[in-house]
Structure 1
Amino acid sequence: MIPKVAVQTAQRVTVNVPVALEAKVVHTNNTNAARTTNTTAPLTVTVAHPAYTVFTLAAWHSLEDAVVAAEHALRTGALTLHTLHRAAPHFTNLAGAATFRQALRLINPHSESPRESGLKCKFFRAGLPAPLQQPIVHDSARSPIGRPDFLFDGTTGLIVEYDGDGKYGSPDNTEEAFLALHNERRREKRLLSVGLRMFRVHSNSYDDPEMMPDLIQAFHQQEKLRGGAAVPRCLIEGGYRAWV
């Protein structure tokens, strides 16, 4: 049975319904064999449960779409991991169940933006090992350097950061942008000093087909530079595996 949620709203709602289902409408317009119904009265709308929406995205769209939507729902409180996993048996025998099971491995509450959710899907599909999300990295004196988006620990030591458009402040405030950039470069030098390397993904490179090959190349180069030496655990505090 498809789980549903009843949503009560007093806001203006546009509902597209098949002509055969139309009843007691205030105003209608023909829209591709359906009718658009407009009403300003309080309305209860029954919609698919967020867990079913995640399944539908995995089954009919992509792994990335499902994970991005699910983790956004976790951040906003529209969905919990417990509810998502409890709903999973409903979809076991449906087409798309395999992709949904992959999504369940990736979905967690630790991604802080849709791009972080999407990036780990790219890592997963590329066959990379699961990095840590949001670990705190320390220097040799145990002073915290920062909390990167992703850290491939083990014998790699590659940090991946997503730089959104607003990371370095407003483009209209050159002083603020300069200070933010200066602090970020200083942090990057401190990371290099403990044997870690930074790979940055920007808003204009996220969808670039060359981005992942470049990242994979950086991953293997960094692994080679470390010569098989593991990243010391004393440098890393906390963090969560990007998938299980």
Structure 2
Amino acid sequence: MRQKVASSGDYLKLAPATYISRADYFRLPREDMVRARAMAWAGARPTSVIAGLSAAALHDYPLPQWISSEPIELSLPNYHSSRPMSGLRPRHHPPALQERTVWVRNRFGLARATDPLLSGLDLARWHRRHLGVQALDQGLRRGLFSSDELASFVTGLGPLSGIKVLRQVARQATPFSDSPRESMLKSYLFDAGLPAPHQQAKIFHRSGAMLGRFDFFWPEISFAVEYDGQGKYLGEFGTDREEAVFNDLHRQHSLSNVGITIFRANKFNFPDGSAIEGIRELYRLLSMRNLPFVNGRWESAGLAWR
């Protein structure tokens, strides 16, 4: 990046007085595009703190495809200007939150950003609640903060815009989700009003052999839900497609034979909402049947929310 006014169309303005070669910029992954612009704006506003989606990019949180076109978010404690600034979305944290910052260094420089915990909460209250759950799940899984720290922090917050949302995402955050899609599915199950399922539930044969593992499991009605990524059918785990399909069918038959009903969410039925409706209806029907799974033949990482 260059700290000067570019005299050629070969350079792209990232922030006031900061430019980058267009060719170099458009070769960057979308996350690095955000990081480059965030560092440039932080340099242009030395008292600022990178926040929101921009801070999430610095912490390597899962982010939506549209992030590369979003304005950079900076927390500006003394921002009073009404003049719009292209490419920047000013934010403000109350004094109680302004100390939750960390220094972040990457290939584009060094700057202050909101810490991983606050960054996840800001995603929930400023953008989408499900993005916050995804980020907080990953933060817990990576050991960036603990469940007790998250719960204590949110409990101690006073009146704050979006506090109800923050309390909801704090309840939903766990270190058990294997993927961002699983975190998002969990958040939608919460919204659907379902009781908390167990996450990463292992099912055992009476011989003691493990039959399989489910993303979500309600043992009280022998009902399991999985998010089906397509990677396992495309050789992602070193198995060819035909073998992966065979193994999956064999596993499903084994689990069905011990009385478990399985629902599979995927990239086709999850985005249009039909997966959640199907899960809710199956839960209702299986609750009427009331056939719990055998005690002692399953275990889990823990409940999906508190």
TM-score range, shorter chain: 0.7 to 0.9
Q: CA deviation at 1:199?
A: 0.5
Structure 1 contact 51–87 (Cα < 8 Å) conserved: no
Identity in percent: 27
Q: CA deviation at 1:130?
A: 0.6
Structure having greater relative contact order (Cα 8 Å, sep ≥ 6): 1
1:44-88, Cα deviation, whole Å (9 max, x unpaired): 301112222122122222321111111122233433334423432
Task: Decide which of 140, 144, 153 is 2:210's aligned counterpart.
Answer: 144
Q: Give matches, 1:19-58, under 5 Å.
A: 21=45, 33=85, 43-58=109-124
SS of equivalent residue, structure 1 residue 118:
helix
Rounded Cα–Cα distance in structure 2 between residues aligned with 1:180 and 1:112: 19
Partner amino acid for 1:236?
W
Rounded Cα–Cα distance in structure 2 between residues aligned with 1:223 and 1:41: 54
1:238 maps onto 2:300 in alignment:
yes
Consecutive unaligned residues in structure 1, runs of 5 or more: 1-10, 23-30
* TM, length-normalised to structure 2: 0.63
Rounded Cα–Cα distance in structure 1 between residues aligned with 2:182 and 2:259: 23
Aligned to 1:207: 271
Aligned to 1:26: none
Q: Give matches, 1:69-218, under 5 Å.
A: 69-89=135-155, 91-154=157-220, 156-170=221-235, 176-218=240-282
CA separation of 1:221/1:34 partners in 2, compared to 1, >3 Å: closer, same or farther? closer
Aligned to 2:40: 15
SS of equivalent residue, structure 2 residue 132:
helix
Structure 2 contact 214–224 (Cα < 8 Å) conserved: yes
Structure 2 contact 227–264 (Cα < 8 Å) conserved: yes
Rounded Cα–Cα distance in structure 2 between residues aligned with 1:150 and 1:35: 41
SS of equivalent residue, structure 2 residue 211:
strand
Report the aligned-residue RMSD: 3.0
Which runs of 4 or more aligned residues in structure 1 lie more than 6 Å from their structure 2 counterparts after TM superposition?
none
Q: CA deviation at 1:127?
A: 0.7
Rounded Cα–Cα distance in structure 2 between residues aligned with 1:12 and 1:56: 21
Rounded Cα–Cα distance in structure 2 between residues aligned with 1:41 and 1:189: 50
Structure 1 contact 18–33 (Cα < 8 Å) conserved: no
Consecutive unaligned residues in structure 2, runs of 5 or more: 1-34, 47-71, 73-83, 89-105
* Aligned pairs, number: 218
Task: Decide which of 283, 287, 291 is 1:229's aligned counterpart.
Answer: 291
Rounded Cα–Cα distance in structure 2 between residues aligned with 1:136 and 1:195: 14
Partner amino acid for 1:111?
S
Rounded Cα–Cα distance in structure 2 between residues aligned with 1:35 and 1:212: 36
1:141-170, Cα deviation, whole Å (9 max, x unpaired): 33210111111121x211111111202233
